[in-house]
Structure 1
Amino acid sequence: MSSSAQDSLAEARHLRVGSQPSATNDASDGARILAALQVHPRASWPQIADVLEMHERTVARRGQDMLDRGLVRVAAVSAGSPGTIIEAETDRGAVRMAAKSLAARLDVSWLHLTTGRSDLIGEITIPDADLAEVVIDELQAIPGARHVRTNPSLRYLRVAKDWDPGVLLFEETRRLAELNEFGTPAYEVRWNVPALDAVDEKISTELARFGRATFVDLSRLAGVSESTVRRRVAKLAASGRIALRAVFAPRLVGLPLTAILRLSVRPRHLSEVASLVSAEARIRNAVITTGRFDFLIQLDTASRADLQEVLSSHPMMKLVDHVETSVVLKSAKRSRIQFDV
């Protein structure tokens, strides 16, 4: 699919995502601020107010309140090692215990409690050299887990930074993206990457704790000038060593139902389905994976009816031989941020 075609699809979806209200009528101030942070997690309140044509004091008050209450968290995450999809069946009454144990691992990037034959579905990022030890010895010993299946991912099609909840107008999203000097252009796992030096390590660690830390605070922590910190953060993001994320529940922007779709397609359709998946703005995460299914997709929707519409009418479904759908009940971890379950 050409880049111009993908741009057209993206623009259209800003005007219609399921049955959501458009940004020109009923979208709440809070949802619009969250959607702005999704595009530019470190945007200042004046920048967001200017782009969204909202009062600066309203944006600052609502935005800071959501940060203070933990409704949205901004953090820097790392692509790290190659991903492996985890699916676990748990003992009766042990799903929360297993979820907490898995989510506590630093190498687990996301984890959901789900309906369907798997009680837990998530992703762990570990070097291939360590895969056997982790899968055989560690994951099989997770408390409460009766059976754990693992399938290494082959290619990332979409990650959290690509997600568009459909709240903002296309022009608003474009302007915010242009203001974001710390955007990560692509998600790429790199092997044999040199270790960060001491300054970058301090900066990355603090941004992982609080992604909106000021350059003044970062410069004091790292012992370098503000201009040096800004330059280093931009370089870390541009190189893919870190990616800044605004993490919040999709229900806060009118998308209360998250589904996980596993798709099986014939080899000759892999490329075409991958292009269609890559262009779908409603998809939060999507990978080509090994195992019984070829694709694993996380899709946020406004209702069961919208999910059914995707399953029955989306162009990619014409090329799918088999689909298995699970609904997310609770999230134990998103973008390496752990939540209470």
Structure 2
Amino acid sequence: METLNLQLVHALQIDGRVPLRRIASVLGVSEQAVARRYAMLCETAGLRVVGRLNPRPVGQTVWALRLQSVPSAALGLARSLAAREDTRWVQLASGGTEIICHLVAQRDSAQDAPVRLLDRLPGATSVTAQRVLRLFKGGPTTWGALTSALDREQQAALAPDFPPPDAWSAPLELTDLDHVLLAALTRDGRATYAALAAEARCHESTVRRRIAQLRTAGALFFALDIDERLLGSPGATAIRMSVRPAHLAAVGAALAEHHEVAYAGATTGTTNLLASVLCPDDEYLFGYLTDRLGALPGVDAVETAPIVRTLKRVGTVGRARR
């Protein structure tokens, strides 16, 4: 991908709602050039900014699901999961017979959420549901694979005036206005304040103030949805690890510093650390597993599953790409 495209993607990772004119100013190019590249990436790479809630402050629980299916039923089952509003990252793995995804549930119904979901989705031959206990990387945190696209001064100039969301953000009760705004921002995280105000039937100043309050409280963040293969054709691999409890926090923190890692989270279950890594080829993946992951103390077992197709990322059903 060209340098300007990578810089634009990196800028939107830093703040999904940063104005294009501000990006252009920081990069030293025209606003028209940035607008053209943005439109092109939306068309060719499925680029989209998506408004998302930080789960814990708003009373949500995240489950990591792993479903096995016969080959003839796997794609249909994955599509059914991707069509749901409460799923993220629906992917086919291991030759197309395994489906992995994340399920978001309200805390008061979280314990039986996977069971209720699967009652409506027959076809799975086995299911594993693991609750995500702590997020080390992913969601509101920044994926580090593009940290070389912008220098530190440029990153600082684009950083939002809001603290980054984390698991310790204070609980927040959502209002009716919040639900309207979130529905709109899920469709288009860069929707203008005027458009959001029209949908919410309130003043634009009210919308600006409430979005700022949600971001300041750590309840709302903006994720970048893009076909990662266009960022250098990396292959995605899901990794499940069994880590001794005394080392779990340290291993998770170490993974968060690896630029190959797009996601890392501690979970319940025998395999208690889940990660997603992006590597350019099999030789690179082998080196990452043996040299970097293998060097971390406390990791007793590692299981890998190559991703063969992504049907849904942070919030939209992915377009089929060859």
Task: Kindly provide the amino acid, as one letter, of the partner of residue 212 in structure 2.
Answer: A
5+ residue gaps, structure 2, are none
Closer/same/farther in 2, CA of residues 95 and 140 from structure 1, 3 Å limit? same
Counterpart pick for 2:36 among 61, 68, 76: 61
What is the DSSP-based 3-state SS (H/G/I as helix, E as strand, rest coil) of the residue aligned with 1:318?
coil
For residues 69 and 226 of structure 1, what CA distance do their matches in structure 2 show? 32
Alignment of 1:7-26 (within 5 A): none
What is the DSSP-based 3-state SS (H/G/I as helix, E as strand, rest coil) of the residue aligned with 2:72?
coil
Task: Kindly provide the amino acid, as one letter, of the partner of residue 25 in structure 2.
Answer: D
Closer/same/farther in 2, CA of residues 271 and 117 from structure 1, 3 Å limit? farther
Does structure 2 conserve the Cα–Cα contact (< 8 Å) formed by 1:153 and 1:289? yes
In structure 2, the residue matched to 1:33 is 8
What is the DSSP-based 3-state SS (H/G/I as helix, E as strand, rest coil) of the residue aligned with 2:71?
coil
Alignment of 1:252-271 (within 5 A): 252-271=230-249
In structure 2, the residue matched to 1:135 is 114
Alignment of 1:47-58 (within 5 A): 47-58=22-33
For residues 48 and 268 of structure 2, what CA distance do their matches in structure 1 show? 32
What's the offset of the Cα at 1:65?
Answer: 2.6
For residues 97 and 107 of structure 2, what CA distance do their matches in structure 1 show? 24
Task: Kindly provide the amino acid, as one letter, of the partner of residue 239 in structure 2.
Answer: L
Does structure 1 conserve the Cα–Cα contact (< 8 Å) formed by 2:130 and 2:267? yes
Does structure 1 conserve the Cα–Cα contact (< 8 Å) formed by 2:70 and 2:97? no
In structure 2, the residue matched to 1:103 is 82
Task: Kindly provide the amino acid, as one letter, of the partner of residue 271 in structure 1.
Answer: A
What's the offset of the Cα at 1:297?
Answer: 0.5
Closer/same/farther in 2, CA of residues 291 and 317 from structure 1, 3 Å limit? farther
- Percent sequence identity is 27
In structure 1, the residue matched to 2:143 is 163
For residues 191 and 124 of structure 1, what CA distance do their matches in structure 2 show? 22
Does structure 1 conserve the Cα–Cα contact (< 8 Å) formed by 2:54 and 2:165? no
Does structure 2 conserve the Cα–Cα contact (< 8 Å) formed by 1:162 and 1:281? no
Does structure 1 conserve the Cα–Cα contact (< 8 Å) formed by 2:165 and 2:219? no
After superposing the two structures, state which structure 1 stretch, 130-139 or 254-263, moved more. 130-139
Closer/same/farther in 2, CA of residues 177 and 312 from structure 1, 3 Å limit? farther
In structure 2, the residue matched to 1:278 is 256
Task: Kindly provide the amino acid, as one letter, of the partner of residue 77 in structure 2.
Answer: A
Q: How many residues are treated as equivalent by the alignment?
A: 313
The root-mean-square deviation of aligned C-alpha atoms, in Å, is 2.6
What is the DSSP-based 3-state SS (H/G/I as helix, E as strand, rest coil) of the residue aligned with 2:194?
helix
Query: What do residues 93-152 of structure 1 show as CA deviations (whole Å, max 9, x unaligned)?
Result: 111101011112222122111117961111112235424543334315523322111111
For residues 129 and 213 of structure 1, what CA distance do their matches in structure 2 show? 31
In structure 2, the residue matched to 1:314 is 292
Task: Kindly provide the amino acid, as one letter, of the partner of residue 220 in structure 1.
Answer: A
Normalised TM-score (structure 1): 0.82
Does structure 1 conserve the Cα–Cα contact (< 8 Å) formed by 2:11 and 2:155? no
In structure 2, the residue matched to 1:326 is 305
For residues 208 and 125 of structure 1, what CA distance do their matches in structure 2 show? 14
Does structure 2 conserve the Cα–Cα contact (< 8 Å) formed by 1:110 and 1:123? yes
Alignment of 1:57-96 (within 5 A): 57-68=32-43, 71-80=46-55, 81-96=60-75
Query: What do residues 289-323 of structure 1 show as CA deviations (whole Å, max 9, x unaligned)?
Result: 11121200011222223222211221664322111
What's the offset of the Cα at 1:215?
Answer: 1.7
In structure 2, the residue matched to 1:194 is 173
Does structure 2 conserve the Cα–Cα contact (< 8 Å) formed by 1:89 and 1:117? no
After superposing the two structures, state which structure 1 stretch, 168-177 or 150-159, moved more. 168-177
Query: What do residues 213-255 of structure 1 show as CA deviations (whole Å, max 9, x unaligned)?
Result: 1122223333444333222111112223322112001112214
For residues 332 and 187 of structure 1, what CA distance do their matches in structure 2 show? 27
Does structure 2 conserve the Cα–Cα contact (< 8 Å) formed by 1:35 and 1:253? no
Does structure 2 conserve the Cα–Cα contact (< 8 Å) formed by 1:256 and 1:303? yes
